[in-house]
């Protein structure tokens, strides 16, 4: 009995000016065959993933926060902790990921709690460095809520240190941004640090 021939794999035609088209050239540059079965649609999948991972560039924070600012007479610290995030290092385009802790001292208004993770994602889904990401989140909270102070702590692990270079898988990096009372008042800063280190709810 004559065996049927395997169906011929047809490589898609790509516009070389698209991200997928350029990634096809990257695959060839790495010594791969973009026409083999496992890589046939990889450029399109990788383009879609990159567009999602950098979608923060298109976010209008004013529209994100709009309608979630409330006039409330509350002068105690508000903390949203352990907000996970994923970003891409701008130096190697490798992921870094971790958690962010955000606190602010309201003056005349508060922001909807769900908007803080959205602000974090808006800046994390870009090519980033951790130091700038931390500062941008703090400045955005400051801009939208006009508080007496903002504190942000970011703890992250970087694949550019874990998978290449020094290859230290257990290393982590901590950055902080302190604005207003969090910078000028030691007791405020220490209260924030103490509450962040407090055991989370299970």
Q: Is 154 among the residues known to form the active site?
A: no
130 carries an active-site annotation: yes
Active-site choice (11, 91, 190, 198): 91
Residue 16, token pair as written in the block: 């070389």
List 130, 135, 136, 154, catalytic entry: 130
Instruction: Exactly one of 90, 131, 143, 190 is catalytic; name it.
Output: 90
Q: Categorise residue 194: left if φ over 0, alpha if ψ from -120 to 50, beta otherwise.
A: alpha
User: Given 47, 92, 142, 185, which residue is catalytic?
Assistant: 92
Degrees to nearest 5, angle at CA 64 with 191 and 201: 35
CB proximity list for 161: less than 8 A, separation 6 or greater: 167, 168, 171
CB atoms within 10 A of CB 33: 12
Q: Which of 139, 142, 160, 191 is catalytic?
A: 160
74 belongs to the catalytic site:
no
Q: Is 7 exposed, middle or buried (0-12, 13-18, 19+ CB in 10 A)?
A: exposed
- Which position among 24, 89, 128, 136 bears the catalytic label? 89
Q: Is 158 a catalytic residue?
A: yes
Q: Which two tokens stand for residue 181?
A: 């009372």
Q: Which residues are catalytic?
A: 89-92, 130, 158, 160
């Amino acid at each position: 009995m004559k065996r049927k021939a395997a169906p011929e794999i047809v490589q898609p035609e790509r516009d070389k000016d698209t991200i997928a088209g350029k990634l096809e050239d990257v695959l060839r540059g790495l010594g791969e065959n973009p026409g083999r079965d496992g890589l046939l649609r990889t450029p399109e999948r990788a383009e879609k993933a990159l567009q999602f991972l950098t979608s923060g560039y298109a976010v209008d924070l004013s529209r994100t926060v709009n309608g979630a600012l409330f006039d409330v007479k509350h002068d105690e610290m508000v903390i949203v902790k352990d907000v996970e995030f994923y970003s891409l290092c701008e130096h190697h385009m490798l992921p870094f990921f971790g958690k962010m802790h955000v606190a602010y001292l309201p003056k005349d208004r508060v922001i909807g709690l769900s908007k803080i993770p959205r602000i974090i994602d808006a800046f994390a889904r870009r090519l980033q460095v951790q130091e700038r990401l931390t500062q941008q989140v703090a400045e955005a909270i400051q801009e939208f809520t006009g508080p007496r102070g903002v504190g942000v702590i970011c703890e992250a692990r970087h694949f550019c240190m874990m998978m290449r270079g020094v290859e230290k898988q257990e290393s982590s990096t901590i950055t902080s941004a302190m604005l207003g009372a969090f910078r000028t008042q030691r007791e405020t800063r220490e209260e924030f640090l103490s509450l962040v280190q407090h055991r989370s709810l299970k």
